[in-house]
Amino acid sequence: MKTWNNFLNNIEVKNELEKIYEFIETQEKKYAPLKVFPKKENLFKCFELTPFDKMRVVLIGMDPYINEIDNECQAQGLCFSVPDNFPFPPSLKNIFKELIDDIGCEYPKNGNLTKWGKQGVLLLNRTLSVLQGNSNSHKKEWSNFNIKLMEFIINNKDFCIFICWGNDAKNCLKKFDMKNHIILEAKHPSPLSANRGGFFGCKHFSKTNEILKKNGYNEIDWKL
């Protein structure tokens, strides 16, 4: 049975990570006092939270949040999620608006999505690090890692639902054979994109559960 260690210990992946670690170290020195987010111990938190054998859903984000509040970074290694008691970023507010419209739950009091990850939703950012205040600043460095990761998941899971919000998420699956998997696509939940239409009303939370149930898997309790 495959685990995330099979992926992370692959020699090609290890070589990519060595380059990334070196790049992050260079960034921290070059741009100090700016920081690299998330904290190093949270870089692979999504994998720690969602074991490979339990994963049935992959929610694909772009890159980590770039800001901090009271010297604590918003980014915690999980896409769209923020630590307990943090203000909700605009994209997360829109996600929660769609959530309550879709499944009829109460508006979440907390932006920490750990509960989803524990139920088999991989909360994956395409880029796992970012320079404080600089969106997509590490995108190029993580691109090869991301391709190898998608390849590993697609080739080693018999069935998975990929939730892709925005073109960046959709494009990362284009070159793969997805015949065993299901892709749910919508516009990105950021205000600039979502308010133009194509995100609200996508009903991806209920659709995911319908697909899981149809295929004999446990539904996700999306309520927070």
> Beta strands of the chain (E only): which ranges?
36-37, 57-61, 68-69, 72-73, 121-125, 130-131, 161-165, 182-186
- Domain containing 132: what range? 4-214
In whole angstroms, what is the distance from residue 66 CA to residue 82 CA?
A: 12
Domain count, the chain: 1
Sheet holding 121-125, edge to edge: 121-125, 57-61, 161-165, 182-186
- As annotated, the active-site residues are 63
Give yes or no for a contact between 193 and 214, defined as CB atoms under 8 angstroms apart: no
**Residue 220 domain flag:** no
Amino acid letter for position 118: K
Q: 221 lies in a domain?
A: no
pLDDT digits (tens, 9 = 90+) for 4-42: 999 999 999 999 999 999 999 999 999 999 999 999 999
Measured CA to CA, the distance from residue 44 to residue 145 in angstroms comes to 12
* Contact criterion met (CB below 8 Å) for 214 and 56: no
The answer to whether residue 42 is domain-embedded is yes
Is residue 223 assigned to a domain?
no
Enter the pTM of the model: 0.96
Tell me, yes or no, whether 209 lies in a domain.
yes
Residue 105 lies in a domain: yes
Q: Which are the contacts of 146, defined by CB distance < 8 A and separation ≥ 6?
A: 126, 127, 172
Domain assignment of residue 224, yes or no: no
List the CATH number of the domain containing 169. Answer: 3.40.470.10
Kindly give the parts of the chain with pLDDT less than 70: none
pLDDT number for residue 194: 86
